[in-house]
Structure 1
Amino acid sequence: MTTIATRSAADVAISVAATIDGIFATIDGWRDLLEDRLAAADALTAETVDPLVETFAVPAVSGTTLLTGAGFVAAPGALADAQWHLAWWLGTTSSADGVRRLATIDDPSHEQFRDYTALEWWRVPQATGARHLTGPYVDYVCTDDYTVTVTTPVMRDGAMIGVVGADALVDRLERVLLPVLRTGRSPATLVNASGRVVTSTDARREPGSMLRGDGLIAAVRALSPVPVRLADGTSVLACGDTSLALVVGI
């Protein structure tokens, strides 16, 4: 006889958090490196910043990894030689080494220029001074696919000089997270702080769709480590401090 082991929702949430925390820890390490190396620089320039970013971004998106993009995005005017600047690398199979640098348009007068300071992955860390998980969203700039982006501020002399971060394709995250969700005793859906689905054991709940219900969003944003039971029988609990929540039950 084969016994199928099942785990509590709390244990599942802990396992989900461990995966996301690994990404957070990596990005925090990049931030610390940049802040340490740039603190003593006489002037910040793309010429000096880019090679430093490349040392961690390229390995991060090379080979088999959850990450598909990584790098640094400068605050407008922070670099002496570039008003707008991204140093971002993408994992790809289209080039010989499997990695390419993201081509960007940095001239505000160009019709295809995009002000990245209006985007969530920039705007929220700038406002809060803390790391932020954006998505899932369709990343039309880099992948044209559902993506999760994690960014955190890089500081110098008390001012934010940019954000450092990484992209992870949702389908790659699903390969890791779905087996974890399936070890639970009940159907489970992983959502972000807006109730948007990251992945689910219910095939009807596709990544990027919104999960709705009375009291759901309030429970998700409460990020309680203890399951909060809703009127429809579902329960919601935080996945550590990742800003993601696990919705289990019906």
Structure 2
Amino acid sequence: MTRVTTPAATIAERIAATIDPVFAVIEDWRREVAALLAADDEPRAGRIDPVIADLVGGELERPGTLITGAGFVAAPGFLADAPWHLAWWLSGASPFRTDVLGTGLRRLDAVSDPDAEAFRDYTTLEWWRVPERTRRRHLTGPYVDYLCTDDYTVTITSPIVLDGEMAGLVGADVYVAKLEQALLPELRAADRTCTVVNASGRIVASTDLHRATGALLRAEGLADALAPLREREADGDPRAGEAQATTLPGGAEVVACGDTSLALVLE
């Protein structure tokens, strides 16, 4: 890819600017939780859960936030009183497993008994596996999150590493529908079809109503154009630097959206 300053690059920068505040909030949470755990000789769920609730609660209930769920997930065996543990809260706007909206902050009812039929080993999921391997922030999705949202979601997670060992991670869920609402005004500013995809080419948002969330965008040369984003994820380096772009054989421009691991396809 070559450096460019085009309308596509400008839109890509605006997309990054929409998502960057979510990254910043998560990084603040990561630092605070890491400091809390490092200062505790025997971290326990009973002590950390109220802190996590206070930490994420303000953002979850803030008007206009993109975040609908957030919290801390412990590495198996890290907490003395909870071998498997999710301290994850949902905002009042989240409809997950409830028919009532606006009921306020509530905790995700996660199954933590590995012998239970409904138990889910979260260490096998992408939002855990990639940060565990790379020791860096990761954006997962869009995907249907049956564990926390039951809807198309983007999950951003950042690992907490203490003395070289994974203690857990902090993260946030963003409903794709809310992300679309935030991004579409920027996408519609162009006079061409705009589609935001992840590093694998799956659609996050598009001005083309026929392009479904989560579907693969099929375009000649797109996989190669997105290869640098996939390589950054594999190497554990989320930084995309200045807007990078390439032109596909069909004429579409592909531009990285800052360090979000997303890209804009402008046709």
TM superposition score normalised by structure 2? 0.87
* CA-atom RMSD in angstroms: 1.5
**Structure 1 CA distance for aligned equivalents of residues 15 and 101 of structure 2:** 33
**Given that residues 228 and 235 in structure 1 are in contact (C-alpha distance below 8 angstroms), is that contact kept between their aligned partners in structure 2?**
yes
Which aligned pairs between 1:75-86 and structure 2 lie closer than 5 A?
75-86=75-86
Unaligned runs of 5+ in 2: 1-5, 94-99, 230-239
1:195 maps to which residue? 201
**Structure 2 CA distance for aligned equivalents of residues 226 and 167 of structure 1:** 27
**Residue 173 of structure 2 aligns to which amino acid in structure 1?**
D
Unaligned runs of 5+ in 1: 1-6
**Residue 8 of structure 1 aligns to which amino acid in structure 2?**
P
**Residue 233 of structure 1 aligns to which amino acid in structure 2?**
G
User: Is 1:105 matched with 2:114?
Assistant: no
User: Is 1:246 matched with 2:252?
Assistant: no
Summarize deviations over 1:30-84 as a string: whole Å, max 9, x none: 0001112221211111012111111122222114321110000000011111110
Secondary structure at the counterpart of residue 217 of structure 2: coil
Which of 205, 217, 237 matches 2:255?
237
1:4 maps to which residue? none
**Structure 1 CA distance for aligned equivalents of residues 16 and 174 of structure 2:** 15
User: Is 1:67 matched with 2:67?
Assistant: yes
Secondary structure at the counterpart of residue 16 of structure 2: helix
Which of 173, 191, 202 matches 2:179?
173
**Residue 25 of structure 1 aligns to which amino acid in structure 2?**
A
**Given that residues 92 and 102 in structure 2 are in contact (C-alpha distance below 8 angstroms), is that contact kept between their aligned partners in structure 1?**
no
**Given that residues 60 and 70 in structure 1 are in contact (C-alpha distance below 8 angstroms), is that contact kept between their aligned partners in structure 2?**
no
Which of 118, 123, 127 matches 1:121?
127
Secondary structure at the counterpart of residue 244 of structure 2: coil
Secondary structure at the counterpart of residue 162 of structure 1: strand
Summarize deviations over 1:103-144 as a string: whole Å, max 9, x none: 111111111100000000001100111000001111112221
- Call closer, same or farther: CA 1:203–1:96 in 2, change over 3 Å: closer
**Structure 1 CA distance for aligned equivalents of residues 136 and 43 of structure 2:** 22
1:160 to partner: Cα distance: 1.2
2:92 maps to which residue? 92
**Given that residues 117 and 123 in structure 1 are in contact (C-alpha distance below 8 angstroms), is that contact kept between their aligned partners in structure 2?**
yes
1:182 maps to which residue? 188
**Given that residues 220 and 237 in structure 1 are in contact (C-alpha distance below 8 angstroms), is that contact kept between their aligned partners in structure 2?**
no
**Residue 227 of structure 1 aligns to which amino acid in structure 2?**
A
**Residue 160 of structure 2 aligns to which amino acid in structure 1?**
V
1:188 to partner: Cα distance: 0.8
**Given that residues 8 and 185 in structure 1 are in contact (C-alpha distance below 8 angstroms), is that contact kept between their aligned partners in structure 2?**
no
Which of 141, 157, 169 matches 1:151?
157
Which aligned pairs between 1:47-66 and structure 2 lie closer than 5 A?
47-64=46-63, 65-66=65-66
Secondary structure at the counterpart of residue 148 of structure 1: strand
**Structure 1 CA distance for aligned equivalents of residues 174 and 118 of structure 2:** 25
Deviation larger for 220-229 or 34-43: 220-229
User: Is 1:160 matched with 2:170?
Assistant: no
Deviation larger for 217-226 or 81-90: 217-226
**Structure 2 CA distance for aligned equivalents of residues 213 and 10 of structure 1:** 19
Secondary structure at the counterpart of residue 114 of structure 1: coil
Which of 222, 228, 247 matches 1:222?
228
